[in-house]
Amino acid sequence: MLRNLESFARFVAIVDAGTMRRAAEQIGVTQAALTRSIKILEEDLEAPLFERRGRGITLTYFGEGVYDHARQLLQDATVAASEIRALREGEQGTLRLAAAPVWMTSILPPVLASLQTSFPRLKFELEARNYSDAIPLLKSGQLDAFFGGFQKLESLPSFLVREPMFLSKLLVMARHDHPLHSQDEVVVEDLLKFPWVSFQSDVAYLDTINEAVHNNTGKAISASVNCDSMLTALELLRCGDYLSLLPDSFFNSVHGSELDALSPQIDEITFQSGPVFRRSLRDNAAFAKLLSLSKMRAEKLHN
């Protein structure tokens, strides 16, 4: 079966592209080469994959089933190659990481800097992602690990590990001299009197607090600014009378300077945060140290 992996890849490319010509252009081969690959594959499978109708091609019923299996086979091959590479390269390889804003700005930078001194030949690819975007990339083998909050706890494939490291709390934040800080008590109605910055993540944090606000007042908060940059959201809070619901990790880090948490009369909002990673990386010395340093850094921010 593995000897046909390239033929399966070409078969999937044809189906996804819609035409033989377009597929040939996308993967950089001739149409004649594609035709030969499909012919060999059909001979091995002992059944036709396409129906030829004029200039067009249509999958046979058999071909539709093979397409689903071929995509899964290619995905599994990518995952297997990633795991083999992790075992082979060890400390000299490349760790492909993604992280949510708290981890990107407050936890991982000092961790990676420290790790680099122990593993100077190790390379990192680090990108900003939320949980929903990162999980498919982990499943397909395009990422090795994601660090962030688990707002969703769906079941994961056996080759992925989800490891909570700390409980993240969402706080209503404002600049330290915001008018609400001068009040002895902040009630839910007070949250409707000022403009809000909505930071968009896996779930909009504003939507989370709006349920409590609506239950108490029958009204809803409307964001004056929708922002997908956590650092920009924090700077907006420092510049004006804005309010925002954000993770306490920022409040405890250098990025939370000049900001203070308010304590309105609402139930506490929490979720677990930590890494999701490929199980095969547990035996990688560099990654094991990355996890250890990350846990220490996270605990420091939350103690």
pLDDT digits 0-9 by tens, 238-268:
999 999 988 887 766 677 788 998 888 787 8
Q: Phi first, then psi: give them for residue 163, nearest 5 degrees.
A: -125, 95
Look at the pTM and tell me if it is higher than 0.85.
no
Q: Is 187 left (phi over 0), alpha (psi -120 to 50) or beta?
A: beta
pLDDT digits 0-9 by tens, 194-249:
999 988 764 567 777 888 888 888 898 888 998 888 888 889 999 999 999 888 87
List the one residue out of 146, 69, 59 whose CA is nearest residue 100. 146
Share of the chain above pLDDT 90, in %: 27
In the chain, how many domains are there? 3
Q: What is the CATH number for 45?
A: 1.10.10.10
List the one residue out of 20, 6, 74, 71 whose CA is nearest residue 63. 71
Look at residues 86, 117, 134 and tell me which one is the last residue of a structural domain. 86
Domain that holds residue 247: 167-270
Output the CA angle 155-288-252, nearest 5 degrees.
80
Question: At 101, which helix (H) or strand (E)?
Answer: helix 101-102
Rounded (10°) CA dihedral 198, 264, 303, 108: 0
Residues 117 and 242 in one domain: no
Residues 280 and 161 in one domain: yes
Question: At 224, which helix (H) or strand (E)?
Answer: strand 223-227
47 three-class SS: coil
Residues 183 and 260 in one domain: yes
244 three-class SS: strand
